[in-house]
Every structure is written in C-alpha cells, then in structure tokens.
Amino acid sequence: MRVVIPFDATDPKTRLSAVLDASERQAFAVAMLRDVVAAVRETGHEPRVIATGPVAVDAPTTVDDRPLTPLVDAAIDAGTPLAVVMADLAIATPAAIDRLFSADGDVVLAPGRGGGTNAMVVRTPAFRADFHGTSIRDHRANARSVGATATELDSFRLATDVDEPADLVEVLVHGDGAAARWLVEAGFTVALEGGRPRAVRENRG
Amino acid sequence: MRVVIPFDATDPKTRLSAVLDASERQAFAVAMLRDVVAAVRETGHEPRVIATGPVAVDAPTTVDDRPLTPLVDAAIDAGTPLAVVMADLAIATPAAIDRLFSADGDVVLAPGRGGGTNAMVVRTPAFRADFHGTSIRDHRANARSVGATATELDSFRLATDVDEPADLVEVLVHGDGAAARWLVEAGFTVALEGGRPRAVRENRG
C-alpha cells in the first residue's frame, strides 16, 4: 500500500505563532513530520512526503503546492489502496498506524479532534476527499455516495493533531520522538494553570 | 469485574457555564452519564454510579461526596479487579469500553486530553489513584512504584471528556446517544467559525 504524508512547507503551523516564531514553527513542524515518517516506516511501509516546497526530511519527497483536497484526490487517482497520514500527528505510534492500515473497510477514517480527519485508507478509487470544514462528516458522506463502506478508527494518538498552543501538552505527556525532544530543548515543560496541565515555556536567561 | 462511574451531582460541568445555565448543565451531565451507563452495560457489565448526591439515573447508585481520588482509592480497597469510567465520556462506545476492559496489564489507563485519565482498570490492590494535575503521568508513576505493569489504551472516544464549550462539537459529530440528542434539542448545531467546526447554539424565537 502506498502511504503519503502531505506537508505544508510554507509558513507551517501559523496557529502556534503565539508561542513559536516562524523559524521555530518550521523546525517544530519538520520534527513532527520526521516522527510521522519514522512511525509509518516501523509498520513496514515506506512513506512518500508530498510537500508544498523543499523540506529537510530523509524520505522520498514530491513537491506539489496544491491544496490538500485536490492533492489527496490526485493521489487516489494515481492508485489505490492508498493511505494518507497527516504530518502533524506528533504522538502517532507504529501500533496506532498499524491499526489504521489493518482495519477493514473500503474507506477507513481516523477522526481528528474538532470534526477533522487525520488519516485515512482508501481502497476504492471513486472516493473523493474533502478537507474543508467538518471533514469527518464530509468523508462519511462521500463514502456513502460512492457505495463504499466507511469504518472509523478509534485512536487518541491519531486524533491528536498539533495545531494550537493547547495541543503542545499532548506532545510533552505522550510523545517520545523528535517533536517532544524539540519542545523540551526549546524550554517547554508541563505546568498547571488553573489546575489544568499546560505546556509552558520557561524563561531562558 | 466491578465497574464504577463517579458522578459530580453538585453543580456539574461549571466550565460549560458560558453556554449552558445551571439547570441545563445538570440535565446535560445526566444525559452523558446515562450514555456511559448504557455503553458499559452493552459490554455485559452492570455499572455502579457513585455520585456526590442524588441523581436520576436507572443504575445502582451510591451517594458519596468525597473527592475523586479518595473515592477511587476506596473503591480499589473494596476489591479488584475494578474499572473506573468517567461520567462525561459522551462519545464512549461499547467497543471502546470493551477494548479497555480486555486490555492486558495490572493497570490499564485510558488517557484523557490534556494530561488527564478518563478511565482505568485496576487489577492490583496496591495501586493508588491521583486525579490532581497531570494525572496520566501520576498514574504511570504510581503503577511503577508498586511494581505493576501499566498499559495505555489508545482511544479517541475514551480520551474525549466533555468539559468545555469547544468539546461539544465532538458530541454532535461523533455521539448518537442521550447527550447528542440533548444538545440538538437545546438548539446546538455544528457551524464553521474561522474555518473550524464549532458547536453553536441557534437563536430560538
């Protein structure tokens, strides 16, 4: 099965701007991508990165600056079965990805928090992607509309995409790869704010 | 295996105050509790609710107003194996709960978002709970300190506790029980805010 990892190499992770500057966001996004590449590889698959621009990752890479939806549709058209795994799943494990790849269904969807879709397996070439808005609902509907069975993979690790400062605590608490190390080296630690754990950045003298 | 569901019957879900008044929060919290009771029952177990006060739920109920940590420790002391499932896991499915109950380990932990612990199975009576702060880390450490193997269950549905307005979209998108129906009847729907799906309340004339 082909596995593709789309990556936004152009000003990635803008919603982390409150805590990371542009070069830090770039470095952190690449660290997450490397973790996802490594996790996919441990399942026995060689992923291809499809990036909007050049990126420093040790994996076959195609540069393609189309938005996510036409990009994934083109990948489906190039051949199924196809797996798509987002590049910001910093706490994805090989076990979780293996569960995704092994699940039955013409289409297997791994929901992301907030109505998103963080990973999928497409075994039917008629299926179309739609990453705008509440994509998990759109993907369910798109599967139905082509008569495909859609199953959903119940994984916290695949549901956790890292977009906002509030997401960083998940990387510190559950991650053990390049992204978690990057955050620790950048001075992030877990602290309680109003009784709730948050990733906070220590003052560096 | 005994299964307990702790429930805060006294001013529950205060972090939903921005979108629900006190009586609505009470009704919604009970709807979520009923969904959790039903999901546990479908796994073939009869759960006991341990509530801080009287609650309108069709399940054996004990009133106990202690905080969560001593309450769970007392339940462990009363006999293992014991499962604890939080009452606000509105999108928990029987399949997810069954995976929790079936997982190997002296202690099985289901992480919640933000460093929490949303459900657990305790098979060793020496284990102690600690629901303050980053509880998933504390529970890992507490298992280690008594020589117990701790495994973690990777489930988005068990990781999703409903505490804040931003969590309601998960119930609308992934729920199909009493809590989802309650939100729909209360006028909540999914709408895009800044391109991201949110649960918003329609104006009712």
Say if pTM beats, i.e. exceeds, 0.80: yes
Is the ipTM beyond the 0.90 threshold?
Answer: yes
At B54, the amino acid letter reads: P
Among the listed residues B204, B176, B172, the one whose alpha carbon sits nearest the alpha carbon of residue B191:
B172
pLDDT along chain A (205 residues), means of 10: 97 96 98 98 98 97 97 98 98 98 98 98 98 96 98 98 97 98 98 94 70
**What's the average model confidence in pLDDT over B91-101?**
98
β-bridge pairing A61-63 and A107-112: unpaired
Best residue in B15, B104, B173, B176 for a mutation probing chain A (most A CBs within 10 Å): B173
CB contact under 8 A, B173 and A95: no
Note the pLDDT tens digit of each residue in A162-187.
999 999 999 999 999 999 999 999 99
CB contact under 8 A, B170 and A136: no
What architecture does CATH give domain A2-163? Alpha-Beta Complex (3.90)
Interface list for B 24-53 with A (CB within 8 A): none
What residues does each domain of chain B span?
2-163
* CB nearest A169 (choices: B99, B114, B154): B114
The answer to whether B87 and B6 are in contact (CB under 8 A) is yes
Q: At what angle do helices A94-102 and A22-42 cross, to 10 degrees?
A: 60
> Measured between alpha carbons, how far is B140 from B144 in angstroms, rounded to an integer?
6
* CB nearest B155 (choices: A133, A156, A196): A156
Is A160 exposed, middle or buried (CB count within 10 Å of its CB: 0-12, 13-18, 19+)?
buried
CB contact under 8 A, A159 and B158: no
For residue A38, the surrounding DSSP H or E stretch is: helix A22-42
CB contact under 8 A, B114 and A154: no
Nearest CA of chain A to the CA of B96: how many Å?
A: 8
> Measured between alpha carbons, how far is B68 from B4 in angstroms, rounded to an integer?
12
State the pLDDT at residue A204: 58
State the pLDDT at residue A160: 98
Beta-carbon contacts below 8 Å between A and B: 84
The pLDDT > 90 percentage for chain A reads 97
Q: Which chain B residue lies closest to A159 (C-alpha atoms)?
A: B156
For residue A171, the surrounding DSSP H or E stretch is: helix A168-174
* CB nearest B157 (choices: A134, A154, A174): A154
Scored b (16 or more CB within 10 A) or e, B47-61 reads bbbbbbeebebebeb
